[in-house]
Amino acid sequence: MTEEREQKNWKTRLKKYSRRTLYFSIFLAFLLFVRIFLFQIYSIQGNSMYPTLSNGSIVFVWKGGFALSAKLFGTEWLYTEPNIQKLDLVLFHDQAGELVVKRVIGLPNEFYSIEAGRVLIDSQMLIENYTPVGSITIEPNNSLFLNLKNSPFLAMGMQGRIPPGYFLLLGDNREYSTDSRSFGLVPVEKIKGKVFFYF
């Protein structure tokens, strides 16, 4: 009788342990899904986005709809058309493969030009109150771009039309930012998410 009771207790404990393990596994899978597909927390390195973001600032990034890195296949996988608006802050992989945050200045099919230290989009000068007071936008320098072979980025000049699927991304701290002026227009598959909150 005692042996039978012990066996029953053992089965009950095993069932309870199995249920807890299942719940924990489902919770871990959910967290992994959120991390890969929906949400990321990122710490800013450097001051290229000052005064909006400083070195050490924390940004919360929404990844839903943006490209996934398919490292097994050596490419990026874009599973839907992401919603990217002008002046959004986006997280993307630069030429060196590092994650960085910049501001969307030009959208696909828009015509950009840099004149007298200012950015014009479709012949309209941008009012850039997010840049440091008195800052200017220096001309593009493609030296960084030219050192990289088979780059998916597109070199930019003083002016031009942004091709479909590409974005002009600049740092707010314009005089101290390595951005599209150096590494070129950014393909949409390199953009990993949009900043929705920061501190």
Residue tagged active-site, from 102, 190, 192, 194: 102
**For residue range 23-81, what is the model confidence (pLDDT) as tens digits?**
888 888 877 776 666 788 999 999 999 999 999 999 999 988 887 765 544 566 656 67
Nearest to 76 by CA among 152, 162, 161: 152
Query: Would you place residue 142 in the very low, low, confident or very high pLDDT band (cuts 50, 70, 90)?
Result: low
Q: Average pLDDT of 97-109?
A: 95
The count of C-alpha atoms lying within 13 angstroms of the C-alpha of 117, restricted to the half-sphere facing its C-beta, is 7
Q: Which residues pair with 113 in a beta bridge?
A: 120, 159
Q: What ranges do the domains of the chain cover?
A: 1-38, 44-198
Q: How far apart are CA 151 and CA 145, in angstroms?
A: 8
Whether the full predicted model's pTM is greater than 0.75, yes or no, is yes
pLDDT in tens, 152-165: 899 888 999 999 99
Q: Is the pLDDT score of 126 beyond 90? A: yes
Task: Give yes or no: 102 in active site.
Answer: yes
Is 15 among the catalytic positions?
no
Q: What DSSP character marks residue 175?
A: G
pLDDT for residue 70: 55
pLDDT of residue 85: 96
3-state secondary structure of 29: helix
Active-site position among 8, 11, 15, 48: 48
Instruction: Residues 44-198: name the CATH superfamily.
Output: Umud Fragment, subunit A (2.10.109.10)
